[in-house]
A = this chain, B = another copy of it.
Amino acid sequence: METRTGRLSGRQAEAARNDGVILDAAREVFMREPGAPISAVAEQAGVGVGALYRRYAGKEELLRTLCSDGLHRFVALAEAALAEDGDPWEAFAGFVRGVTDSDVHSLTVRLAGTFTPTPELHELAAHASALANRVFRRAKAAGVLRPDLHANDIPMIFEQITAIRLGDAERTATLRRRYLALVLDAVRAQPGATRLPGPPPSAEEFGARWRPEA
């Protein structure tokens, strides 16, 4: 046998491979069921629970890692949308579709509340939220959004789309696209629109999510 596979070999190679496998498994399992047991993650990854605890001090650390990951993806999507300088509507819609497709909402808000957040996570979340607001304001300024839509409506839309879950992951993704298309039609500036009732959520209301349990 070679002394190296890529760069590592033997047990080290297996360990390096498992790093990724475990994270992917955790993402899949916890997105499907936020309260799933650790053993389910191990099973999905095809490893023992020991391999899991070798990498993470406990369940919380794993969840925090996942959440942090999700926020980074979210930030990347928002930055990409802000970097775009074509059609303002497409930049906005593309961003929303990206968040939906990568199911980033499940990885962030949905996981919050199942663990005690660190200050760094809070900061990251605030940063992500600020970027998303910029994406929103840019579209708003361009006049492509209905006037009564508020920035804080966007997370609620993600929440609704995330609730769609039917069949396997692929089918779910297709259906989410379908209903996202529906709301996007409503979100776009249009003549005949009714006025949205009730105030949008406030920042404080969202903040309560991160505190104890749900």
Q: How many copies does the complex hold?
A: 2
Q: Which residue in chain B gives the minimum CB-CB distance to A182?
A: B186
Q: How far is the CB of A139 from the nearest CB of chain B, in Å?
A: 16
Name A160's contact: one of B161, B184, B186 (CB within 8 Å).
B161
Whether B166 contacts A179 by the Cβ 8 Å rule is no
Contact with B along A49-67 (1 / 0, CB 8 A): 0000000000000000000
Whether B183 contacts A182 by the Cβ 8 Å rule is yes
How far is B159's CA from A162's CA once the two chains are assembled, in angstroms?
A: 10
Given known A-B contacts A182-B183, A185-B186, A159 and B163 have beta carbons under 8 A apart: yes
How far is B166's CA from A179's CA once the two chains are assembled, in angstroms?
A: 21
Query: Which residues from B are CB-within-8-Å of A177?
Result: 197-198
Q: Is the CB of A205 closer than 8 A to any CB of chain B?
A: yes
How far is B201's CA from A152's CA once the two chains are assembled, in angstroms?
A: 29
Give the size range of A's interface with the partner.
35 or more
Kindly name the residue among A164, A183, A185, A196 whose own CB sees the greatest number of chain B CB atoms within 10 A.
A185
Whether B197 contacts A178 by the Cβ 8 Å rule is yes
Whether B179 contacts A156 by the Cβ 8 Å rule is yes
Q: How far is the CB of A156 from the nearest CB of chain B, in Å?
A: 6
Q: Is the CB of A174 closer than 8 A to any CB of chain B?
A: yes
Q: Is the CB of A119 closer than 8 A to any CB of chain B?
A: no
Task: Jot down 8 A-B pairs with beta carbons below 8 A, ordered by A.
Answer: A156-B164, A166-B206, A167-B208, A174-B198, A175-B201, A185-B193, A186-B186, A190-B192
